[in-house]
Structure formats: C-alpha cells, structure tokens
Chain A
Amino acid sequence: QKEVEQDPGPLSVPEGAIVSLNCTYSNSAFQYFMWYRQYSRKGPELLMYTYSSGNKEDGRFTAQVDKSSKYISLFIRDSQPSDSATYLCAMSLSGGYQKVTFGTGTKLQVIP
C-alpha cells in the first residue's frame, strides 16, 4: 500500500463546476499538507500549504485536512478551462519541505 493514495482520474467537469480532489494517507505522523498544480511539460506549482487539521482558503481554492480520517481535499470553485492540469497532493512530517511524499496526481479537465 502506498503511503499517499490519489485517484489518477482523469476527471472531466464543465466550466463553472465545483471540483473536489482528494487524497488519503496512511502515516498519521504527517503534519504538513500541500497541493500542487502541474501543467503539461511544466514543473509543479505550489497552490496551498497547510499545517495540521482545518481549512485554508485562497481565492477559488480551499484546502481541507481531516487528520482523524487521514484525508485531505482541494476544492476549486467556479472552475475554468485554465484549471485543466494535474493536481498533486503532498505531505511531510516536518515543515520546510523535508522528506516530502507525493501522491501520483489527478488529471483534471475543465470543459468550456
């Protein structure tokens, strides 16, 4: 079993939809949780960085962490075609991005 599980998709939604992306993990010691967006042939781009449980909002993006269930989510409101990319979750035991473990990514397509 992988430490971090992420549905690879692809996930296709119409423009304007609310998108929910999820990851589960097995290591309860993870404390820091990240979401990245990766466009084709580009490096990942950090979207959200959260510590421990709770919600964090940034524009159309909301990250949610439920440590009791070992489950994290990224919500995208009013999705746009420009959101079409692969979304990677990641987590680490300590801050500073040491020993980071990534999910395999979910490919999202937002259809105009």
Chain B
Amino acid sequence: EAQVTQNPRYLITVTGKKLTVTCSQNMNHEYMSWYRQDPGLGLRQIYYSMNVEVTDKGDVPEGYKVSRKEKRNFPLILESPSPNQTSLYFCASTSLDTQYFGPGTRLTVL
C-alpha cells in the first residue's frame, strides 16, 4: 500500500527547542515536499527535493531546514522554533502525475 508517514502527529513545544518532524515514503518516489497549512493562507510550500541530496526552497523556507540523505526520508528540522511556526505541516511524495500526502503534523510552539 502506497504510504507517506509523518511523526510525530502532534507536538507541543517551547520557543527555541530544536525539533525534527520525520517523513517517510514507501513508493520510491524521487520528489518530496514539505508544506504548512494555516487558516486563510492555505497550503504553502516550505522546501522540496527532487532527489537524494537535491533540495530547494519553496515559498516560506525561513526558519526551516531539510535534508535528503536517503530517497525514502525527508525530515523537516526547526533549529529554533518560534510561535509563528505553529501550524499544520504536511509532507508529500510525488511521481509524475501521482502525489500522496502524509496525515499531517500539528505543531504548537509556545
């Protein structure tokens, strides 16, 4: 079964405490992306990756880092989270005309 998994699904943290949200796909897709979803602003792309070791910024990359050391994994790193990064985060995995999103990670930064 095609699957994109994200962990954790819910996280409450404090300002400045580094965190990582993991994303993994089992479809051998080359493209992976991270988005955040906020009321009234919709989905906005944070970073995307076209293959292992190839990443590029989306529309809102400030305050985030990513890495793509293996094809299946694309973690999102917040080195020093701030309250304006409180949001719902989605990872997506893509190949040609198919795309699968993960279930989402709801992050609250206090």
Contacts and interface: CB of A to CB of B under 8 A. Distances in A.
Interface size, B (range): 20 to 34
Contacts of B41: 104
Secondary structure call for the B interface:
strand
B90 A99 contact: no
B48 to A, nearest CB: 6
A43 B48 contact: no
Contacts, number: 55
B97 interface: yes
Contacts of A17: none
Interface string B1-20: 00010000000000000000
A101 to B, nearest CB: 7
Contact of B56 (A41, A98, A104, A105): A98
A43 B104 contact: yes
Contact of B99 (A6, A46, A101): A46
